[in-house]
């Protein structure tokens, strides 16, 4: 778990540094930085999505995962968690209008991707922290920019990192046997697609916000896709 705490520490420190210098940045520059961050998120998402070797897997997993997320109302739950932290933990002292948006966006950005999955498995099974340490360095830089643009909600995303990344690390021994290279590749591709949706929200494209948190179950569905596809292939092949 040491790698998880290091990652939490870098996001915490980076976001606070961003908030510290926020008042020295004009509103117009903050808006420009927000658009730049959104475009960077698109690049990260596309670079992961195009790695897919099984487009049908991405489509099926996104459809089924989103349907499951809608039923479970995950997006509402994450938003309520952000609102709870803002109103109860900080007792209404935080007046940032983008607190919950920052919390949701940072939770997704810092916990989606192959580095999170592979790094957590390596940390949990082999005690190899190199991937998570590299991810932590990248997250430090990203969290500074997001902290300056969205405020304290980004800082509070460390709780989700503890829950999500920490959970993967603790369950590494159970997940490792079913996580093939193909499954990890498609998990990353699904995650990249979700990041593109998040970037659309950041750019405020469309009349309604895409509930990207509802898509999170899709990330894990490639684990089941390949065994089922092989079984069906043998059955009808």
- In angstroms, the CA 204 to CA 58 distance is 25
Concatenated DSSP letters of 46-67: HHHHTT-S-HHHHHHHHHHHHH
pLDDT at residue 64 in the model: 96
Per-residue pLDDT of the chain (237 residues; tens, 9 = 90+): 788 899 999 999 999 998 888 777 677 777 787 788 888 888 888 988 998 999 999 999 999 999 999 999 988 888 787 777 777 666 655 555 677 778 888 888 888 776 787 788 778 877 888 888 988 988 898 888 888 888 888 898 898 899 888 888 888 777 777 778 888 889 888 988 988 888 888 888 877 888 888 998 998 899 899 989 888 877 776
pLDDT in tens, 86-116: 776 666 555 556 777 788 888 888 887 767 8
Whether 123 and 129 have beta carbons less than 8 Å apart is answered as yes
How many Cβ atoms are within 10 Å of 197's Cβ, its own excluded?
18
pLDDT at residue 54 in the model: 92
pLDDT at residue 183 in the model: 87
- In angstroms, the CA 65 to CA 217 distance is 5
pLDDT at residue 84 in the model: 77
pLDDT at residue 2 in the model: 86
Which whole-number Å values give the CA distances from 34 to 23, 80, 109, 125, 150, in the listed order?
15, 23, 14, 37, 8
Enter the pTM of the model: 0.80
Burial of 156 (0-12, 13-18, 19+ CB in 10 A): buried
- In angstroms, the CA 203 to CA 33 distance is 11
């Amino acid at each position: 778990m040491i790698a998880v705490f290091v990652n939490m520490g870098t996001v915490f420190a980076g976001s606070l540094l961003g908030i510290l210098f926020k008042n020295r940045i004009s509103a117009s520059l903050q808006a420009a930085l927000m658009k730049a961050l959104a475009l960077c998120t698109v690049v990260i998402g596309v670079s992961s999505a195009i790695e897919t070797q099984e487009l049908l897997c991405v489509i099926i997993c996104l459809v089924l995962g989103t349907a499951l997320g809608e039923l479970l109302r995950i997006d509402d739950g994450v938003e309520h968690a952000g609102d709870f932290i803002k109103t109860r933990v900080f007792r209404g002292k935080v007046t940032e209008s983008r607190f919950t948006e920052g919390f949701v966006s940072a939770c997704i950005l810092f916990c989606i991707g192959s580095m999170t999955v592979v790094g957590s498995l390596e940390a949990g099974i082999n005690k190899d922290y190199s991937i998570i340490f590299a991810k932590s360095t990248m997250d430090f830089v990203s969290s500074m920019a997001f902290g300056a643009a969205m405020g304290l909600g980004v800082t509070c995303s460390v709780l989700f990192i503890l829950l999500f990344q920490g959970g993967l690390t603790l369950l590494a021994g159970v997940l490792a046997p079913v996580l093939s290279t193909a499954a990890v590749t498609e998990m990353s591709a699904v995650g990249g697609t979700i990041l593109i949706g998040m970037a659309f929200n950041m750019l405020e494209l469309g009349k309604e916000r895409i509930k990207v948190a509802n898509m999170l179950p899709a990330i894990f569905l490639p684990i089941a896709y390949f065994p089922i596809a092989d079984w069906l292939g043998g059955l009808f092949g």
